[in-house]
């Protein structure tokens, strides 16, 4: 878990980073990316959480999210379990699969502390594929919400957390 000074609570907007188990490049496989994307949309609709932006890299995932019903850690655990179940279902593998088969137990969460902080975190995640040498421009990475975010670039910050 992150060593941020402010612990996330329900309603906070957070950047959550999850690594694959052993940094395996699970998401170098297009079918696994498709399953994870589907799982992101399912969790968003079923759990009524806000997933504002994300980027999927071969061995990790960044999500900017908010849930009023639970902690970001609980939402991430649900996403990880759901991905494992969807993978098993769609891949037709009969063996026992759980979230730990795919994901490291540790993750990082950073509470977003206002609009400037939000912009900095969005820039960080969208430039992550550039930093790792996969593309030259964030808009060239197909496994992120960059295009969606560019069209809808307004994320509502809770009034109490507005920082100018």
Q: Which strands form 60-66's sheet, in the order they lie side by side?
A: 50-57, 60-66, 14-20, 103-111
Q: pLDDT category, 1, cuts 50, 70, 90?
A: very low
Q: Mean pLDDT across the stretch 92-96? A: 58
Name the residue with higher pLDDT: 72 or 135.
135
Please give the Cα distance from 144 to 54 (Å, whole number).
Answer: 5
pLDDT-derived band at 159, boundaries 50, 70, 90: very low
Other C-beta atoms closer than 10 Å to the C-beta of 17 total: 20
The predicted-structure confidence for 95-110, as pLDDT tens digits, reads as follows 555 556 789 988 999 9
Greater pLDDT, 43 or 135: 135
Alpha helices, H only, the chain: 30-47, 72-91, 115-131, 146-151
Domains of the chain: 14-147 (3.30.70.1290)
């Amino acid at each position: 878990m992150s060593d941020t000074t402010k612990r996330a609570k329900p309603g906070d907007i957070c950047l959550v980073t999850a690594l694959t188990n052993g940094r395996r490049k699970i998401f170098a496989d297009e079918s696994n990316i498709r399953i994870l994307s589907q799982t992101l949309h399912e969790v968003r609709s079923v759990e009524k959480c806000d997933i504002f932006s994300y980027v999927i890299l071969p061995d990790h995932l960044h999500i900017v999210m908010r849930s009023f019903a639970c902690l970001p850690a609980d939402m991430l655990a649900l996403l990880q379990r759901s991905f494992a179940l969807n993978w098993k279902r769609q891949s037709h593998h009969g063996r026992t699969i759980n979230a730990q088969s795919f994901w490291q137990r540790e993750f990082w969460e950073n509470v977003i502390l206002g609009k400037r902080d939000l912009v900095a975190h969005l820039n960080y995640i969208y430039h992550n594929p550039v930093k790792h040498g996969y593309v030259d421009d964030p808009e060239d990475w197909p496994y992120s919400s960059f295009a969606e975010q560019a069209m809808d670039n307004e994320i509502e910050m809770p009034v109490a957390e507005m920082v100018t």
